[in-house]
A = this chain, B = another copy of it.
Amino acid sequence: MRIEVICTGDEVLTGKIVNTNFSYISQKLEDFGLALSWETTVGDERENLLLAFQLAGQRADAVIVNGGLGPTIDDLSQEIAAKAAGVELVLSEDWLAKMETYFQRRSRVMPPNNRKQAMLPAGAEVIDNPVGTACGFAVNIGRARFFFTPGVPRELRRMLEEQVIPRLLAASGKQTAIYLKRFHSYGIGESHADSLLAGVEALAPDGSVKLGFRAHYPQLETKLTVRGSDMDDIRAKLAPVEHEVRKRLGNFILAEDDRTLESVVLAELASRHATLTLVETFTSGLIAARIAHLPGAEKIVRRGIVARDLGEVCAAVGLEGPSMPGGITRETAEAVARAAQRHTGSTHALAVLIELDEGADRIEFAGSICLAIATGHDVASRRSRIVGGRDWVRLGAVEMGLDCLRRQLQGLPVNERIDFEKVE
């Protein structure tokens, strides 16, 4: 089945907004084993919209159109869809009533121009939008089935997942039960993970499990797409592969599915009624900003301290300044973490100290990271060197700090070698 996407709107065509709806649609299709062949972006302009619909209708079996379903004069998708399909626009009384209820429930009167949103090509199949007034619909143009979806990301996501993808799966004749299992890791590059996981797909029968990756430095997402006749079948097929991925990626897996590194750390701390103090230098608040705003963090993250000068770091945690003549070492980081824990009365303290190279920012620019985690009477630490420019060092240090804290909380070694560090 050939699937295309058409994105509409001047905002997208002029680059005023980055087209994240498209990457979302494409990833989501891939998660369900549906591949995309072609994407077209056109503005709010009748001639190009019509041509785009006609061309896609000649080439594709299914087309997802995004945007242009709003109430304003530059929202043209219904009008051009009707023209391309060779039918009239007709009022959907059902959708009009639905919109009126929508406004009533919010104690508002429906503005007259919203009526336009209930005008659909004659014979169109209505596709429900439970979270907005833009009415989705499906209609045939040329040889393709067209699915029209709203541009508001929240509305698009609901409609795509609940309405469009099931229709595409049914039309493609694929087994409709499909499941996506995700593992998030830090410290392994994509090609390394690919070689570590060689052959895992073969643990499931008939190619029913497909392995994929999505790298977003510093984290890597490992994806298993599983097809089956139903969820029991899927669980049975997934089990041996899932088990093997966990075994091979091991300590590097920081979270699975919708969980994040910071939520795992927060949950580990919450489960032992712990409190946390963070000490940062060049990461300059980014570690605290990942965790301290989360619901529940107000009782756990006791204090975050940022300072660029080591003497100031020491002063902030009640350490004598001149006792640190050697600059930034693992021992310094350990002393700072211990002092931070004592000074604020928290059960845990993470100190991430960074010594940057001299000179201008460039791809060879590096930084040395010394981090330490103090808990009770113990302290764990590591030293690492990251190359790749100021931003790369900074982002890498944030992730390394949080992930070492996760490892310490889960009883795993904090010193395991990672792919992103330079061996000295």
**Contact check: which of B24, B45, B292 meets A285 at CB < 8 Å?**
B292
Of A30, A308, A344, most buried by chain B (CB within 10 Å of CB) is A308
Q: How far is A118 from B316 in the complex, measured between Cα atoms in Å?
A: 58
- Asked if B288 contacts A16 (CB within 8 A), the reply is no
Residue A301 at the B interface, CB < 8 A? yes
Q: Please give the distance in Å from A275's CB to the nearest CB on chain B.
A: 10
Given contacts A42-B38, A303-B305, A304-B305, contact A285 B287 (CB under 8 A): yes
Residue A113 at the B interface, CB < 8 A? no
Query: Nearest residue in B to A39 (C-beta to C-beta)?
Result: B41
Q: How far is A390 from B292 in the complex, measured between Cα atoms in Å?
A: 13
- Asked if B289 contacts A289 (CB within 8 A), the reply is yes
A312: chain B residues within 8 A (beta carbon): 302-303, 344
- Asked if B15 contacts A22 (CB within 8 A), the reply is yes
Interface residues of A in 5-23 (CB under 8 A from B): 13-20, 22-23
- Asked if B308 contacts A284 (CB within 8 A), the reply is no
Q: Please give the distance in Å from A14's CB to the nearest CB on chain B.
A: 5
How many residues of A are in contact with the other chain, CB < 8 A?
60
Query: Nearest residue in B to A361 (C-beta to C-beta)?
Result: B295
Copies of this chain, count? 2
Given contacts A284-B292, A285-B288, A304-B305, contact A18 B23 (CB under 8 A): yes
Query: Nearest residue in B to A391 (C-beta to C-beta)?
Result: B293
- Asked if B13 contacts A17 (CB within 8 A), the reply is no
Q: How far is A287 from B293 in the complex, measured between Cα atoms in Å?
A: 13
A214: chain B residues within 8 A (beta carbon): 16
Interface residues of A in 21-40 (CB under 8 A from B): 22-27, 30, 35-40
Given contacts A18-B18, A36-B13, contact A306 B306 (CB under 8 A): yes
**Contact check: which of B14, B30, B39 meets A26 at CB < 8 Å?**
B14
A35: chain B residues within 8 A (beta carbon): 14
- Asked if B27 contacts A15 (CB within 8 A), the reply is yes
Q: How far is A18 from B315 in the complex, measured between Cα atoms in Å?
A: 43
Interface residues of A in 307-363 (CB under 8 A from B): 307-309, 312, 315-316, 344
Of A16, A24, A42, most buried by chain B (CB within 10 Å of CB) is A16
Residue A227 at the B interface, CB < 8 A? no
A18-B19, A283-B293, A286-B289 given. 13 additional CB < 8 A pairs? Answer: A14-B26, A14-B35, A15-B22, A18-B23, A38-B40, A39-B42, A284-B297, A293-B394, A298-B308, A304-B306, A304-B307, A305-B306, A315-B344
Closest A-B pairs by Cβ, 10 of them = A285-B285, A304-B306, A15-B26, A285-B288, A15-B23, A284-B292, A298-B308, A285-B289, A39-B41, A15-B27
